[in-house]
Structure 1
Amino acid sequence: MKKFSLLILLLALSAVLAACNTTIEEQRDKTLEEVEAVFNADPERANEEGQDLEFHIPYFSEVAEEADHNIVIEKSNETYVLFHHLNEEAGQDAIYTMTEASSEEWLVNETFEANDQFGYVLLRQIDEEEYELVTGVNHVKVTTVTDLQNIADNAEWMMETARSAQWK
């Protein structure tokens, strides 16, 4: 009877672990769906203020540091960089163009346009367990390094933050 109980426990544990597993394809699809939905939605109300702009960050996150054109955000022991540079002469896609050109290895490279807004999401694998994730709208981008399981969740709030940015 003990062996049977142990077998049932092992099967249940295996099922739970398998359910927690995700693939890059699943994360890619979920990321694109969520980022595009956020991009097309009304922007979140700003709850933080930097030197040049106001923006929304999720609860349980904080601005750790600010310098010219960069705001470092910390959330759940992860670091994110909000880069902003208003250069209307260069066009709304200037930051995207420079970022996209920095690598030929993007697993995700999608752009969105609506209501005079230009948005994008970029994803590339850095090593076996880490991915660089970039979301942006017009002259603002948010970047982080994350693991596979957190790509879609991070992309969603990062796009919310980029989408919410308003120049002072």
Structure 2
Amino acid sequence: MKKWLFLTISALLLFGLSGCGKSVEEQINMGVASSQTVFEESPKEANKKMGQIELYLPSGYKIQDTDDVNNYVLTKGKDKYILFVNVNEKEDSKLHYELLKKNMSKAIVKEQPLELDGIFGFTMVLEHGENQFELVASSGGVKVSTISNDRKIDNKLEEMMRIARSVEVIH
């Protein structure tokens, strides 16, 4: 009898705690705020080199080999990210931002343009389907994007901006 009581109480506690997670809106707001903070910080020192770029990859991220000098695939667990580097765009480039703003096929859930010392960047969250979002973090000619479910959006946006800000083109 004590065993069943313990299991029942444990199950109720687990069920109750699982509902205490952040809402999607909270995750998006926190992620956008965190990515702004990261944008305003000094970029992390590069710990990876791939083709003609050097960049910082947070723990758990891997970069896949590619022949494309503009597009790289990053993975972390089951999540895939596209890192696009336009070597011809300067740090003040608004190209990625303007292209996404003109694309009316996806609704913008939240956007945050950012400027600091002649560098333009932004964070954007777009609807991608039921309980799915396209997350974008960009700095100059660098854009990191992924499709995400409604979990860990805040952490992903922060890490994506950290990666975007760290990319340096080697000439």
Q: Same fold by TM-score, threshold 0.5 exceeded?
A: yes
Residue 119 of structure 1: which of 94, 118, 121 is its match? 121
Match for residue 138 of structure 1 among 133, 137, 140: 140
CA distance in 1 between counterparts of 2:51 and 2:154 reads: 29
TM-score of the two chains, using structure 2 as the length reference: 0.87
TM-score, normalised by the number of residues in structure 1? 0.89
Amino acid aligned to 2:84: F
2:99 aligns with 98
Unaligned runs of 5+ in 1: none
- How far residue 8 of structure 1 moved from its aligned partner, in angstroms, is 3.1
1:69-97 deviations in whole A, cap 9, x for unaligned? 101111112111100113348x5111221
1:129 shift after superposition: 2.6
Q: Deviations over 1:93-143 (max 9, x none)?
A: 112211232235010111110111111011112122321101000000001
Name the aligned partner's letter for residue 157 of structure 2. Answer: A
C-alpha distance in 2 between matches for 1:5 and 1:63: 46
- Structure 1 distance, partners of 2:99, 2:69, is 18
Which SS does the other structure have where 2:9 is aligned?
A: helix
Q: Note the 1:44-123 alignment, pairs <5 A.
A: 44-66=44-66, 67-88=68-89, 92-103=93-104, 104-123=106-125
* Kept in 2: contact 1:123–1:132 (CA 8 A): yes
Taking the aligned partners of 1:97 and 1:5, their CA distance within structure 2 comes to 57
After TM superposition, where is structure 1 displaced by more than 4 Å over at least 4 residues in a row?
A: 1-7
Deviation at 1:5, TM superposition (A): 4.8
CA distance in 2, matches of 1:6, 1:158: 40
The letter of the residue matching 2:109 is L
Identity level (%): 26
In the superposition, relative to structure 1, how do residues 26 and 97 fare at CA in structure 2: closer, same or farther (>3 Å)? Answer: same
Aligned residue type for 2:75: E
CA contact (8 A) 2:52 2:69 kept: no
Change (3 A) 1:24 1:87: same
Q: Which moved more, 1:37-46 or 1:68-77?
A: 68-77
Counterpart position of 2:150 = 148
Q: RMSD of aligned C-alpha atoms?
A: 2.1
